[in-house]
Structure formats: structure tokens, C-alpha cells
Amino acid sequence: MSKERLVMVGNGMAGIRTIEEIISRDPNKFEITIIGKEPYPNYNRIMLSNILQKKMTIEETIMNPYDWYKDNGIHLITGDQVVKINKEEKFVETKEGKVVSYDKCIIATGSNSFILPINGSRLEGVIGWRTIEDTKKMIEMAKTKKKAVVIGGGLLGLECARGLLDQGMEVTVVHLAEWLMEMQLDRKAGQLLKDDLIAQGMKFELQANTQEIIGEEKVEGIQLSDGRILETDMVVMAVGIRPITKEARAAGLEIGRGIIVDDYMRTSDEHIFAVGECCEHNSKVYGLVAPLYEQGKVLADYLTGQETEGYKGSTTFTSLKVSGCDLFSAGKIHTSENIKGIETFNSVDNIYKKIFVENNRIVGAVLYGDTAEGNRYYNMMKKQETIEEYTLVSLLHKAGEVDALDVSAMDDNETICGCNGISKGTIVQAIKDEGLTSVQEVTKMTKAGNSCGKCKGQILELLQHTLGDDFENSKPEGICACTSLSRDQIVTQIRAKGLKTSKEVRHVLDFDDKNGCPKCRPAINYYLNMVYPKDHQDEKESRFANERYHANIQKDGTFSVIPQMQGGVTDADQLIKLGEVAKKYNVPLVKITGAQRIGLYGLKKEELPEVWEDLGMRSASAYGKKTRSVKSCVGKEFCRFGTQYTTKLGIRLEKTFEYIDTPHKFKMGVSGCPRSCVESGVKDFGVIGVENGFQIYIGGNGGTEVEAATHLTTVQTEDEVVKLCGAFMQYYRETGIYAERTAPWLKRMGFEQVKDVLLDQEQQDTLYNRIMEAKEAVSKEPWQQITNDKQARKIFNVERV
């Protein structure tokens, strides 16, 4: 059976996504030819602003390299343009004279920049911005020109203006409306955005209408409708786009603002289809990537004979790729008789949030300064979830009460990547089935994160949640995908520039994602705690959910609760209390843990505050990156082989160093004789009692890759053990990379180097004194004591709007 001939007119994001979807459904159905006007394979047009802002190269924007076309048997024609579509004889003709016949044709020609029809619009120095060539031209022009005017204060215009600032130009944005991005932001958010951009060096003329561009052959200025003249030698038009419909109109297809299509993306000709910015569906033309990809999926279903309900329109969202300006907008963002707004404004941190509600459902949202909850609101809008169970406004609730960063609590059908419509369940399943370990691998397999990239933080969190300790950072040259800076560079800059908060670190050090991600948020919080043990206020919202809940989430979504039992020692009263609580809450599993504690497994999230209150015990650190446990044997007090009082020493070590943050979990073991019943030889800090004192071992790790600890020295007294342990922990705290266990740390640092530092008495004393400062700060932290804390129960409540 011969393949049907499919011709794609256009080589952009919407069209190629459609082809990808077709190939994934039925790779043998079509013989595919793609014709693109630009001399490039498919690239990410959204990231052109990053090229202009010196964050990416052209090569880094390529989404489908030439090899992809070859591997999928696609005939690609680049640098040529379709100038004729003959629907009667079913062929297309290019500018270079190539004729390609088709059985099915997809038009995905996209759009052009709209150039204002005013005097001077054809002068040298006037440019629209849609392509790589436009971007390259602007970068080249910026080398010789000093002043730029960007006409249009929308998304595209502001990203362009920021890029021209980065190219060293003086930039003025001329905008017709009262505030910036008026189609996506309300007045308040627009004002906050303007203030931040002014602080970056941008200038604005609002409610200003460009009447004429002045110049003989080259741009010399623009004249506004009020008569004022602004001097400039470059003008960028960013006032909107116009669908490319010339060839479709000439072919006799029905045209409105764009090429008119039905729910299955069919044009007025049954053999011709259209997707993307060039088409019009239900009187709407979409210029954002998410709806274009949704159209592509529907068309792929239809062309391959899959069941589909058709395209029903899209709920759109917007974010801005400008450093220092974090915003999110979705849905309907203006109040009316039926749409009411609920807003909060934190002028201390410049954080503004407003949701728009109609019939008890969210229909829109505007976030500025903190966009972490954007995806959650977007999912609620798509699912039309009611807000009846939510507290609409809450003031001064404790950090961490709203778990906007906790993807573990999200339903599998909730959207992670809004641009590509990829759900949490799809990503998690791909991670498990394909053994994915990096964001790049997830993106390649699922397409999540390959458009605007704003969801990469949540993809990282899903990797962390799904793989646990097996997760490895996908960008080893930096601490995460948000930055290329290493741990040492970040800590150095924190000290040198006196940076005091995570947000300050991310903005001053110019992270790609100023919100941070689940890799860098806890890491930076840890580094700040380490650098400023007494002065830094721990940022609870940057900690993982397990640490905020004082419980470990299990694979079925329930939690385990593990009370503290120092040194593995308990008593009758504690055992009775544990039994009573286990009965009261019908705990499915009560188990002795590997750390000599008793765990209650299978508890529901909402039960946790009451469970802790009923237990009346402190939480064991069974989930954080800090002292996890000190295992000990009964030692000399009871065992006939014991040489030292190890239980007492184990309890002392745990009390001394409990709750102190470390780069990764830190486990200790104290054995009373060389038989080492508690496996001291595979602990981060291991102690083995011998006749003349205590042998000290460091850098041992259990787990999937067992590392035997290395013998450091032998000391005579318990005081020496405690002091050496403190010095070792502090040296690890100060030089370790966040999420790095002591075994790889020891290899990286070199055992002899570590030994020389720890056994030098002066350095040992200094390190021990510093960790005691950290302990003093930790002892004041209210989070470690949750017994009878009524406010603590708020941490576990459902997320608030």
C-alpha cells in the first residue's frame, strides 16, 4: 500500500509539532515534504528574546536539527517559499520553481510583524521582529546605533526592549495604552512592571501615539501625535502580528483574519488544513504556542484516524522572559458585573496576586513578583474547579502553608507544561518507563519544557520526587538548570556581595529562572543558613514538602511519621503512646526503621497535625538533609563483648548535632566493639569502641552504591569524639555541594586534605566553634518543636487561593 503524500507549507513550531504528533501516531502513513522560507531547521521562536538578551545562541534554539528530518524520512526544503497552492490539481509551487504534489496539505505559514502604515516606516533602521534573521540584524545594528524606540509595550515589545538594553542601547518604549501589557495585566500589575523596568534603565512614553518616523534615508526620530519628537536611530515595530494568508487567499480558501478552519483544522477545501498563527478558529487567531500545539494534536488525530472531539479553543496564559520581572497571566483578567477580583499586594517584597472569579470558579489570574502558583491556578481554570473549600484571602500565614511548589500532591492529570499540554502523569510515567534522569531527557521524550521553559523547575521537582536519591542534576556545570554558576561561585558571591535572601541571590546573580527551581531553592537556602547561621531567617517555602510536613511522603501519597528516639532508645510510656496513636488512626503499618526508630506508615496528610499532637513527641529528622540518626549498640553496659558505653555516646552525639543542616543526610553509628553491629564502617561518621578508646571512620555511605568509611584516627575520650565529629560536620557543611553525600565529597576533597584539616588542633577548634554557632541558631528554630502547636496544623491544610 503506497503512502499518502503530505505537504507542509511552513517549517515553524506549530507545523513541526503537528508532524511530530502524526509520526508518533502512525509513522508509515505519509510521505512527508516540508517547505520552509527560512534557511534553518525548526527553531524555538519563543527564545529569540534570549538570543537578543545574550542568554542563548542561535544553535541552542534549534528544536529539530537536520538529522531529525532525515531520520524520519522527511524531505525538507529550506530557504524557499511556497508562492502558489493549486487546490484543483493538488500541488504547491515554490519561488524557486519546485512543484510538489500532495494528497493532503497543511498550511502553517505563521504570521508577519505588523508594520504601522505611517510616513517613514520604510526608512533604514525600521524593523519588525519575528525571525532569526531579524534578531541577527538587530544585534548588528546595535553595534553602530545608540538609541532605539520600541513601538508597542506588549509581551514582544518588552522582551525586545530588554534585549536592546543588553546590547548596550538606550531604549524607549512607546505604548498607546495606559499601562504595559494591558491585554494580559491589570493596571496594578502593569505599574509594578513599569517600575521594575525603569529601574533596569528602560524609558517609557505611555498613552503615546506614533504619528510619523522622521528621517531622509535613515531613521532620525519619531514624532508623537502631541507634536513631541523623540530622537532615535532604530525603530522596532512590536504592535502585533498579521496571519500570512496571501497564498491561501489566492488559492480560493475562505479567509477572515486568518485562514478559517473548523474543529478538525480543515479549511474550506477538504484536502487542505491549517494550524498555528495563520489560521482562524471560531473567530479567534492565537499567537501563543500552547493553543497552536493543541491544534496540532487534534489535526494529527484526525489525519491518522484517531478518535478526537476536535479543537474547542484554548485557555491561554502568558509569562515574560525579562530578568527581574516575574509575571504570569491567564484567562479573563478584567472585572465586570459577573467577574469579581480577589487581590493581595505585599509591598515589602513587591508581590501582587489577583484572581478573577465567575460563578465561584477561577476564570483568570494575574501574578507579579511571585509566579509559583501560576500553574495551579491555570489547572484550576482548565478543570473549572470551584473555590468553595478555599480561604480566599489569608494574611501572615506561616511560610510553607501553601504548597505551590509541591508537585507530589498534584493529580496526575494536572498540567505541568502548559505550552505543550503535558501532564504530571505523562512525565512521571516516562521517567519510570524510560529511566529518564535529566530535564533534557524528559523534554526529548515528552516535549515538556521545550517551548518557553518556565516549567523546567517543576520537571526537576518531578524527577526528584520520582527518583529520590537516584536523581542527578541535569546541568552538572551549575547547581541546577537555572544557572551555570557552581556551588563555590554562589557561596563566594553570597559572602562578597552580602546577599541575604534566596530571591536576592537569584536576581543579583542573574539566574535564568528568577523563581528558582526545586534544585536551587533548597540549595541556596542551605548556603545562606551556612554562611549566616544566626542572621539568615530560614526560608521554609524553599524546603521540600517532607520537611515542612515533618513526615515522609510514600509512593501511594500517604505519609510516615517517625518520632525521635535518640540513640534508638525508647521507654514503656513512649511505646504505649505509639500504640494508642496507631490504634486511634488505624495505622496500616507500624515498623522498626533501619535507624532504630518506630515508624507509623500510611497516614493521611490531613491527619498529621492531630497525630503529632496526640503523640506529644518531637519529630525525628528522618526526611531532611541534616543529622538523620545515630545508631548504637548496647555496648559495655550490657554486651559481654562491649568495650565502651556506646548508647550514652550515641545519645550525646544526636543531642549535640540534631537538626543542624548539612549538604545531604548525615548518618552516624556507634559500635561498642570491632564486631560493629550497627555498621559503623558504612556511616558518614562511624565510631568503633576498642580497649584504648574509639576508632573514628569517615565518609562511609550505604545505599545503592556502598562506600566503606575510611579510618581517620583513634581517640581516647568521648569529648574528643564529639569535638572531632563537629569539626568534620562543619568542614563538610562549608565545602560540600548541596545534595552531595560525604563519600563523593571525600573523594573530591581528597582524604589526606580532610585529615590534615581535622587533625590540626587549631583548625579543629575553629570548625567546632562554628558548628556550635549553627547549633545555637537551630535551637531557636520553632519548626523543630511541633508538639501542641496549633499553628502547625495550618501547614497541612489544603492550599489556599
Q: Residues at the annotated binding site for siroheme?
A: 677
Please identify which residue in the block is written with the cell numbers 477545501: 269
Q: In what order do the strands lie in the sheet with 147-151?
A: 126-128, 234-237, 147-151, 170-175, 203-206
Cα–Cα distance between 32 and 320 in angstroms, integer?
A: 35
Backbone angles phi, psi at 531, to 5 degrees: -75, -40
Q: CA-to-CA distance for 521 and 540, rounded, in angstroms?
A: 10
CA distances from 356 to 155, 182, 265, 359 (A): 21, 16, 31, 10
Cα-Cα-Cα-Cα torsion 429, 430, 436, 442, nearest 10 degrees, comes to -120
The C-alpha cell that represents 31 in the structure block: 510521505
Strands (E) in 524-674, as ranges, are 552-553, 559-561, 589-592, 598-603, 627-632, 666-671
Binding positions for [4Fe-4S] cluster: 633, 639, 673, 677
Q: Which of 513, 367, 510 is nearest to 449 (CA)?
A: 513
Closest CA to 15 of 40, 38, 34: 34
Count other C-beta atoms under 10 Å from residue 305's C-beta.
10
Residues annotated in a binding site:
633, 639, 673, 677
C-alpha cell at 348: 515589602
Provide the grid cell at 466.
Answer: 520520582
Q: Where are the alpha helices (DSSP H) in 384-484?
A: 424-434, 439-446, 456-467
- DSSP, collapsed to helix, strand or coil, labels residue 629 as strand
Q: How many residues does the chain have?
A: 801
> Cα–Cα distance between 109 and 243 in angstroms, integer?
8
Distance CA 248, CA 274 (A): 10
User: DSSP string spanning 334-348?
Assistant: S--SS-EEEEEEETT
Name the grid cell of 780: 531557636
Cα of 27 vs its chain's centroid, Å: 32
Distances in whole angstroms, Cα of residue 362 to Cα of each of 290, 333, 379, 414, 562: 19, 10, 10, 16, 38
